[in-house]
Amino acid sequence: MNRNKTICIIEDDPNYLMLTQKMIEFTTLFKEILTFRNGKQAFEGLMDRKASHGDFPDFILLDINMPIWDAWDFLDEFSKHTQDWNGVVYIITSSIDKVDESKSKEYSLVKGYLKKPVGFEKIIEIFNL
């Protein structure tokens, strides 16, 4: 994989966020790791990034249940601005609700639905290594 890629983690659990960030850093696959604690913060941050850098991250790891905006709120708004985006979203969640998994398939941006905890091997696998 080309190390010029950027990844974004949207996760409200500080421990899981730190663990995921450390696993991704360990792969040395990404030049930049962005982190946000809820969907609204992520949406605003990514729109600011688009305005200043001209692009969105290549990958987004998205938790479902978060305060302020959950994954669905984020995806509803973010998808309005991604017509020319070639990146992908992976939902990473502790939700065992089949409705959530089914709903994730309604979004063309979502490439996969993974249940926590996601280990290092799975992180490597989803980036096709």
Q: What is the CATH number of the domain that holds 105?
A: 3.40.50.2300
Range of the domain at 32: 5-126
The number of folded domains in the chain is: 1
Going from the C-alpha of 11 to that of each of 6, 16, 26, 97, the distances in angstroms are 16, 7, 19, 18
**Element (H or E) spanning 60, and its range?**
strand 59-62
pTM of the full structure? 0.91
Mean pLDDT for 24-29 is 86
- At 4 the pLDDT is 78
pLDDT in tens, 59-116: 999 999 999 999 999 999 999 999 888 899 999 988 788 898 899 999 999 999 988 8
Element (H, E) at 40: helix 39-53
pLDDT tops 70 at residue 53: yes
Given a cut of 60, whether residue 15 has pLDDT beyond it is: yes
Phi first, then psi: give them for residue 115, nearest 5 degrees. Answer: -95, 135
| 45 C-beta neighbours (distance < 10 Å), count | 15
Mean pLDDT of the chain: 90
More confident call, 12 vs 116: 12
